[in-house]
């Protein structure tokens, strides 16, 4: 790993290659030194979870802080515990949707949000300089196992949805826990909501034997088939640490996250008689269309859940989220929450009818996604060139360069880890989206050739 440890979702790597016990313990020392107080810790069921959690916890305790061990829980459970109990912060041991050989260390701020970059930088400085608070033998911290975090978390969710309406609908649901952290929470949630649930991959296993933990369409074939075979009202799929939810409608169709984001955003604006929804620049126009139709307003941010949640706090937004199934409900907590998302969608379907009908009412857009190689040292110059080439259009530079048209957009974002640009285009038809990407790719190629000389 280089001088920057934290990526967009914590420190991640392959176990005993990128992420070792020694690195984890030293990072724990830095976390304890910087957080200066009790730290909650949880983990998903990866096979390396005990090793990494023990190392991080040992480092935190050596700095004099106590560790509150919540056990195997979803990421939003740790966030909810931190927010609700007034402690210094939290750590989640997870690599979310990455393959089982990976694990990660994600830091949580005192308000339950994902840690902002400036605080991560403070931890990184402590880590690299080895400037740790190494306490004497009689001042080191202790570890305290804590039960009840899941109960409090689920109680918070249940208070925010119409439980009676869900029970009256007598819904049948297929739930795919991906052998991940949701196995200890989502089945209980569905039971409390009076939903008849058929559960797939409901036992926690760190090798993810049912399917890889990323809830893509290819990985959810069993879920899709079971929804069709059983005539279920919908399918629910979580990723490994259960901060995201993807849905299958009653006809067995996979819903990309922009559709569930739009459906829930429309409902949240309606419930609040307006208000602002925050989402990254990469989100589909269908989200803005439904929000404005209900009298709401949309605010765009850089890509990343921490950026979205902090903008929501800043402006008092009623809802926010990303197109990957990570939705944020401010009355519950300012972070992506898979179980809250599932509960809200169950309420919406209970009151408004089949999920397939709700999808059918959404504005239709097509997307084209691709990437093109560009040397890292040319990226800024190439983006500036792109802005000049499209100066006659509305151009947004919040995150990369987004060229806005009346019926869609093209977004060019530089990869933070690879020498390439990612190109996303959206239009009313597949052909238009492809043509916009083709055109933009040509302009990028011209710029790269120019600056390579």
Within 10 Å of residue 4's Cβ, how many Cβ atoms? 11
The domain locations on the chain are 11-147, 152-360, 366-452
Q: Are 195 and 173 in contact (CB under 8 A)?
A: yes
Q: Domain 11-147 carries which CATH code?
A: 3.40.120.10
Q: Are 68 and 87 in contact (CB under 8 A)?
A: yes
Residue for token digits 């916009």?
436
What would you report as the CA-atom Rg of the chain, rounded to the nearest whole angstrom?
Answer: 22
Smallest Cα–Cα separation from 317: which of 296, 337, 336, 344?
296
Token pair of 219 as six digits: 């990985």
Smallest Cα–Cα separation from 264: which of 279, 251, 254?
279
pLDDT, tens digit (0-9, with 9 covering 90-100), for 395-404: 999 999 999 9
Superfamily of domain 366-452: Alpha-D-phosphohexomutase, C-terminal domain (3.30.310.50)
Q: Tell me what pLDDT residue 404 has.
A: 96
Instruction: Give the C-alpha separation, 57 to 27, whole Å.
Output: 10
- The separation between CA 15 and the C-alpha centre of its own chain, rounded to angstroms, equals 22
pLDDT, tens digit (0-9, with 9 covering 90-100), for 277-313: 999 999 999 999 999 999 999 999 999 899 999 999 9
Looking at domain 152-360, does it have CATH number 3.40.120.10? yes
pLDDT at 2 over 60: no
**pLDDT class for 416, splitting at 50, 70, 90?**
confident
pLDDT, tens digit (0-9, with 9 covering 90-100), for 125-140: 999 999 999 999 999 9
21: helix, strand or coil: helix
pLDDT, tens digit (0-9, with 9 covering 90-100), for 335-378: 999 999 999 999 999 999 999 999 999 999 999 999 999 999 99
Smallest Cα–Cα separation from 27: which of 9, 54, 45, 50?
54
Question: CA torsion angle for 358, 362, 364, 367 (degrees, to 10)?
Answer: -90
Q: Tell me what pLDDT residue 194 has.
A: 97
**Residue 377 DSSP class:** G
> Burial, 446: exposed, middle or buried (Cβ in 10 Å; 0-12, 13-18, 19+)?
middle
Smallest Cα–Cα separation from 248: which of 240, 239, 259?
259
Instruction: Give the C-alpha separation, 294 to 296, whole Å.
Output: 6
The per-residue pLDDT of the chain, averaged, comes to 96
pLDDT at 1 over 70: no
Q: Tell me what pLDDT residue 27 has.
A: 98
pTM: 0.94
**pLDDT class for 8, splitting at 50, 70, 90?**
confident
pLDDT, tens digit (0-9, with 9 covering 90-100), for 222-270: 999 999 999 999 999 999 999 999 999 999 999 999 999 999 999 999 9
Beta bridge partners of 19: 15
Q: Tell me what pLDDT residue 350 has.
A: 98
| 293: alpha, beta or left? (left if phi > 0; alpha if psi -120 to 50) | alpha
pLDDT, tens digit (0-9, with 9 covering 90-100), for 129-169: 999 999 999 999 999 999 999 999 999 999 999 999 999 99
The upper half-sphere exposure of residue 228, i.e. CA atoms within 13 Å in the direction of its Cβ, equals 10
Q: One fold for both 11-147 and 366-452?
A: no
pLDDT, tens digit (0-9, with 9 covering 90-100), for 18-72: 999 999 999 999 999 999 999 999 999 999 999 999 999 999 999 999 999 999 9
CA distances for 169 relative to 194, 345, 448, angstroms: 9, 13, 57
Q: How far apart are the first and last CA of the chain?
A: 32
Spatial strand order in the sheet of 319-321: 297-301, 276-280, 319-321, 327-329, 333-336
- List, in order, residues 6 or more apart from 423 with CB less than 8 Å away: 368, 369, 370, 371, 372, 410, 411, 412, 437, 440, 441, 444
The catalytic residues are 96
**Residue 414 DSSP class:** E
| 252: alpha, beta or left? (left if phi > 0; alpha if psi -120 to 50) | left
């Amino acid at each position: 790993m280089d001088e920057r440890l934290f990526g967009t979702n914590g420190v991640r790597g392959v176990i005993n290659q990128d992420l070792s016990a020694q690195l984890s313990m030293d990072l724990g020392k830095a976390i304890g030194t910087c957080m200066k107080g009790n730290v909650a810790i949880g983990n998903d069921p990866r096979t390396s979870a005990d090793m990494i959690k023990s190392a991080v916890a040992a480092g935190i305790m050596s700095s004099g802080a106590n560790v509150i061990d919540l056990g195997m829980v979803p990421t939003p459970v740790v966030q909810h515990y931190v927010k609700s109990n007034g402690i210094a912060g939290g750590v989640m041991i997870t690599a979310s949707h990455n393959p089982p050989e990976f694990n990660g260390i994600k830091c949580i701020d005192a308000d339950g949000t994902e840690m902002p970059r400036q605080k991560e930088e403070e931890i990184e400085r402590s880590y690299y300089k080895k400037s740790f608070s190494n306490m004497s033998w009689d001042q080191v911290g202790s570890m305290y196992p804590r039960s009840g975090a899941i109960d409090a978390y689920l109680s918070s969710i249940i208070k925010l949805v119409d439980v009676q309406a869900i029970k009256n609908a007598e819904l049948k649901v297929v739930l795919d826990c991906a052998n991940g952290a949701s196995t200890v929470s989502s089945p209980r949630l569905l039971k409390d909501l009076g939903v008849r649930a058929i559960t797939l991959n409901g036992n926690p296993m760190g090798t993810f034997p049912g399917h890889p933990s990323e809830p893509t369409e290819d990985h959810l074939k069993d879920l899709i088939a079971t929804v069709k075979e059983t005539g279920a009202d919908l399918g629910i799929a979580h990723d490994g640490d259960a901060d995201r939810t993807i849905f299958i409608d009653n006809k067995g169709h996979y819903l990309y996250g922009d559709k569930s984001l739009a459906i829930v955003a429309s409902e949240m604006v309606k419930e609040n008689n307006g208000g602002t929804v925050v989402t990254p620049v990469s989100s589909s126009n269908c989200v803005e269309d439904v929000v404005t139709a209900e009298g709401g307003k949309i605010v765009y941010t850089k890509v990343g859940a921490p950026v979205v949640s902090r903008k929501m706090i800043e402006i008092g937004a009623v809802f926010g989220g990303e197109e990957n199934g990570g939705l944020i409900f401010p009355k519950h907590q300012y972070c992506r929450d898979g179980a809250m998302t599932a509960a809200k969608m169950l309420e919406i379907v209970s009151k408004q009818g089949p999920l397939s009908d709700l999808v059918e009412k959404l504005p239709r857009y097509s997307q084209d996604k691709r990437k093109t190689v560009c040397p890292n040292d040319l990226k800024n110059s190439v983006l500036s060139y792109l802005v000049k080439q499209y100066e006659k259009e509305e151009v947004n530079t919040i995150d990369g360069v987004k060229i806005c048209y009346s019926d869609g957009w093209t977004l060019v974002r530089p990869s933070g880890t690879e020498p390439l640009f990612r190109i996303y285009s959206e239009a009313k038809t597949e052909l238009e989206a492809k043509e916009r990407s083709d055109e933009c790719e040509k302009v990028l190629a011209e710029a790269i050739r120019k600056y390579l000389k």
